[in-house]
Amino acid sequence: MAKKRPQTKAKPQITDGEIPVVGAREPCPCGSGRRYKACHGRAASHAVTELVQRPFEGLPSEGDWVAMRELVPAATVELTLRGGLPEGVPSVTLATVLPMAWPALRRDDGSVLLGLQNDTASGDISRDLADTLQRALAAEPGTPVQGRRAPADGPRLQDLIDPEGAFEPVVHSGFEFWVPDAENATPEVAASLERANAAAIPTARLTGVDWAYWCETPEKNHLRWVMPHPEEQLLDALARLHAAGRSSLGEGTRLVGSFRAHGLTVPVWDLPSGVGADDVEKPAAEFAERLSAALASQEPLTGDERRARGGLTNRQVTLS
């Protein structure tokens, strides 16, 4: 005769909102008896891997966020938080990259540096950065903040940053902004600073148009211009100008293609090595007017324009 199974008391169930994140192979905290990855971790896993195409949409100056993430070596900008700064935090500064590739740093004076050019654990850069920022605000002064997988239901940058706050990036020639006194930096930070400075490409942000960045390379210079327009509409407009011979920024310059980055398109021009950032300010403003007119056109593309569009499409590179 088969033995009766001993009666066990069911574990108390907890609500979805109370279930913490645990390791994928650990028992689910809900008490179901299944592993977390096969229970409540399934939805959490989907949430953290689902790609957000425009993670910076809704933030002030979206194109500058994209540029600082993908194009600019050394830049900073002060962030304005919703509800103001916490007590003991004099400032929060977004930086392209931090020493030792730290995701964030709480300085000795309590100020916070948040690194933008870091690997993230999920498909939503905004949520990962918001989690890092929140932990940096609560960290002890003088402490770097390490990366981690952000909770799937955690806030995004759009929940933490004031959408009406000013956003004016400052482009630097090097990374001395990392430390108040570079001469007295630790050997590890000093070595990281030296390597970063050696690799930095001279870059400048244009003042006459939004989200455009000039950079200098050994053989030629470039203008990389993040644009907010829908990709298909923008490519049509660029093709109209290209076919008409009106897509350049002056003698010796050439529209050579574009990047895709975080849901936005970034046209790229080659510039002669002698053309600096100041030299391209007026041509860029004039191009913006031509582009505005081309964007407004509703006419079908001509044969020459379709061929120009095909050439531009073939020279697209996806950065993210």
- pLDDT of the residue at 52: 95
pLDDT in tens, 74-127: 999 999 999 999 999 999 999 999 988 999 999 999 999 999 999 888 899 999
Distances (CA, A) of 267 to 240, 256, 315, 316: 14, 8, 10, 9
Mean of all residue pLDDT scores within the chain:
90
* pLDDT of 48 strictly over 80: no
| Residue 86 pLDDT | 96
pLDDT at residue 11 greater than cutoff 50: no
Read off the pLDDT of residues 143-169 as tens digits, 9 standing for 90 and up: 999 988 899 899 999 999 999 999 999
CA–CA distance, 259 with 215 (Å, rounded to integer): 15
Helix (H, G, I), strand (E, B) or coil at 229: coil
**Which residue, 164, 181, 176, 161, is CA-closest to 92?**
161
User: In the predicted model, what is the mean pLDDT of residues 50-73?
Assistant: 96
Segment 290-303 shows an average pLDDT of 97
Residue 21, pLDDT > 70, answer no
pLDDT of residue 242: 98
Q: Which two tokens stand for residue 218?
A: 């050994």
Structure tokens at 252: 């010796």
Burial of 139 (0-12, 13-18, 19+ CB in 10 A): middle
Q: Check pLDDT > 80 for residue 36.
A: no
Mean pLDDT, range 183-192, rounded to an integer = 80
Q: Which of these ranges, 17-21, 79-83, 221-225, 258-262, has the smallest mean pLDDT?
A: 17-21
Confidence band (pLDDT; 50, 70, 90) for 136?
A: very high
Mean pLDDT of the region 223-251? 98
Of 40-44, 162-166, 254-258, where does mean pLDDT reach its minimum? 40-44
- What is the pLDDT at residue 186? 80
Q: Which of 192, 121, 116, 127 is nearest to 158 (CA)?
A: 127
Number of H helices, E strands in the chain: 8, 12
Tokens of 308: 């120009």
pLDDT band at 4 (very low <50, low <70, confident <90, very high): very low
Give the percent of the chain with pLDDT over 70.
Answer: 88
Give me the pLDDT at residue 104, please. 98
- Can you spell out the DSSP letters for 192-254? HHHHHHHHPPPEEE-SSSTTEEEEE-SS-EEEEE-B-S-HHHHHHHHHHHHHTT---SSTT-E
Give the DSSP H or E segment for 115. strand 112-115
Torsion of CA 119, 123, 127, 128, to 10 degrees: -20
The pLDDT assigned to 189 comes to 81
Alpha-carbon radius of gyration of the chain: 24
Rounded distance between C-alpha atoms, residue 280 and residue 290, angstroms: 15
User: Which is more confidently placed, 21 or 145?
Assistant: 145
pLDDT above 70: residue 295: yes
